[in-house]
Structures are given as structure tokens and as C-alpha cells.
Amino acid sequence: MAYVWPIIVSYLLGSISFSFLAGKLLRGIDIRQHGSGNAGATNTLRVLGKGPGIAVLVLDLLKGVAAVSLAWVAKEDSAWLPVFCGWAAIAGHNWPVYFGFRGGKGVATTIGVMVALAFLPALIAGLVTIAVIAITRYVSVGSLLFAVLIPILVLVMHHPIEIFWATLPIALFAFVRHRTNIVKLVQGKENKLGAKRL
């Protein structure tokens, strides 16, 4: 039971949709019915503005950090428990039990999970991602690049093998969740950062 409860709590923590709550509290709307329809930081930025967008980004990121930290609080001697907790938080963000299992794409929460599991690779990948987004203004491109870089950096920088294996499904999952963005990028129809779509 000491092994299971951190995973369950991580999922419930991940299920807190700060984007949805921001929409309801600030404008009385379901943010999933506006903009891209995604309950995440980028859509919050487009629909509600910079302040709420940044706040949601930070809070979603902290969910990932907190979930991995739960594994350490449990003091279970398992290299996999922090990984499972991280996965659970990402799953909660994408399929939140409190909001009809309709959430976001899990990018910010994934970054938080990776910051807790492998700080330096996450930092490097994050800085590259920010630079690419600043240049291209495509958040989806930056998100996918982060997903690709993380496994490579974790492997090259000789982090525990459990963390490397953890990054592979996370990277694959990021591409699955961004499949519509990939199609739009190919078609030249992807929304750029700063373009407001209500």
C-alpha cells in the first residue's frame, strides 16, 4: 500500500486543471470551448492573457515536481516509483477525473516531472525549447523538440537507466497528443504564439 498511494495521489494531483479553473474564475467560461479547446497553459495565454497563462504554466509544472516528490516522501526503495508517480501526474493532467477526463496535452506537467527526475537534461532541453519557441513562435514545435531531446540528454549524461526508459513513453505520448498540431504544421495552418483565437 505504501507503494500504491503515491501513484494514486499523483494522478489526483495531476487531475487538477488550473487552466479550467482559471477560465471559470476569471471569465466564467469552460476554456475547453474556446481557442484551441485545450486545457493547458498555451490556450490559457491565448484566451485569458499573459498573467493567467504564466500562472497556469507554473502551477502545471509544479504538479509534476510535486508528484515525483511524493515518491521520495513514501521512502520506498524503488527507482521506478518516482517514474510511476510522474507518469500518473501526466495522465491526470491529460485525463482529469474531476473534469470529465478532458484535459490538456501535459507539456508543462511533463517538464515538471523531468525537472524532478533529471534536472540538468530538463534544464538544457528547456532552454533550447524556449529559444526555438521564441524564434518560430510555434509552441508545438518547442514541445515536440523537448520530448525528443530529453531521452537523448538523459542517456548521454548517464542518468539512471530507469529514467531513460521513463522518457521514451513520455516522448512518444507527446507526439500522440500533438498529432493534430503536426498535421497543421505540415499544412502551414498551425497557430503561432501571440495569435489570439477565441
- Return the pLDDT at 154: 96
Weakest-pLDDT range from 69-83, 107-121, 135-149, 150-164: 69-83
What CA–CA distance (Å, rounded) separates 108 from 118? 15
Weakest-pLDDT range from 71-75, 118-122, 143-147: 71-75
Confidence of residue 193 (pLDDT cuts 50, 70, 90): confident
Please give the model's pTM, rounded to 2 decimal places: 0.89
Q: Is 191 left (phi over 0), alpha (psi -120 to 50) or beta?
A: beta
- According to DSSP H, which parts of the chain are helical? 5-14, 18-27, 41-48, 50-74, 81-94, 107-117, 119-136, 139-156, 161-177, 179-187
